[in-house]
Structure 1
């Protein structure tokens, strides 16, 4: 039989009748098969009639008050069990255990998000998914197609910072990872800062800022400062180390300042001019929507956020999972 003839024959077969045939052969009774399938006896009898025509065989014949499978039916029985059993296994929800996963998860983001999530991820991966690697990569060369094609698992960036002409979030799944606000940092023994940091003093002091790229989608320039930044770097997490050894001030996310203040002699100061909070969101495409390890990691990220300060931050304040404001 040619491939075309085989396809034509398969289309002519009503595959919905095969489970009924299996139960008829198992129970050798229309009544018992109907009860097991939760069908009417007349419905099973009609199915048997159609099966006989389909296989050109009686399949079950009466022998006294019983029904006996024919030789054709007995030959079909083990093949039916294999085919229907495999089909039922295929349709069962896949059992997923993160401990068995060996895939690398790629998250495109900035250094501040990596700092925020890494500790919680290390703990969870070690406990539940020891063979899984989370690879943080920079967002510099990431495109929307990288998400759509599954090359990147997550893009975690502040929302509405990058223009739609560069990154269009339409059609992507997302959740808010956290909200964060900003503070000014300076070294603890700064000779000119005593108490409240005023706008006039801020404009007089040297400053360091983070400028991610030439487009400056996110530029950590101190608000209200009229003078230029003496130094610009491409990573926010460099700023606390540079401030600790100089008279310069810098603006960073509060959670970054809290983290480094536990290890470096830096002090946090509220900004003299309010600066908008950032809504940091995780984006992913439908390519990964039903991926078990992806769904597991999404839940873990949300749990890390729910744990809040006690798990991530060696200090007070920082993340605001509900966007209500910082401490």
Structure 2
């Protein structure tokens, strides 16, 4: 009897497996609108993210445009070794890490503080006004932002030096002092993005159960205590996810803002990997595509390793992780 039951069970399982593709197809057909909406994002990722990976192989070749990718000579790790042994390697890594880590550490608390403050504002008009004022700089283009920075810090007519002159301080050419570059870059970035970055934390705070705040008020907790014991624990998972993602991009500063702020006087601390890749691959007459691709590929591999490492540490410490 048991043997008959087991045979019937196996037969049902096999028929279910056979019917599964049809049921999946029916589900897709039933929700075809969602799959149509998904088509464009998937195509975007495939065309602009995955397809360009085919060209990454020129990092291992002496690429010549007339021969194409497949016709160029294979040289292995030649360009990577050249970069590691170059004079610029140490300086580029140091400058990139200083600015990236500085941005990461300085940029963490301000969106959280802004979100916590806005969360307790009762006046809707004041809250919306503050949100608009803090969000607006995010939509300023990099060129305009750098132009504003240069005007504010101009040694002759900049408002910063005019204020310093009122205090009896001699004008300072901030953009000509290498030691000031990282601070100018980081704090201008915080000013530009703090409002937009706090949106994620505001969304997390909106999901907090109001009953917890009501119970805390009944127990006599003030706003600071409610922030500390209710709000902060609720946004820690979001903070961990953002920290993991930002750590993966720690070598990816982008070259636009740095290049626009850069000059011959501050190049000692402003030359980073992205600006070097741009100059080697596109701005120089040699247009060494293979060398610049190898540097970018190295940067991507380091970012992936950091992402996996930090994510694993978060899992080991029982914190929120990407997977």
> What is the TM-score with the length of structure 1 in the denominator?
0.24
The answer to which structure has the higher strand fraction is 1
> What is the TM-score with the length of structure 2 in the denominator?
0.24
Larger radius of gyration: 1
The answer to which structure has the higher helix fraction is 2
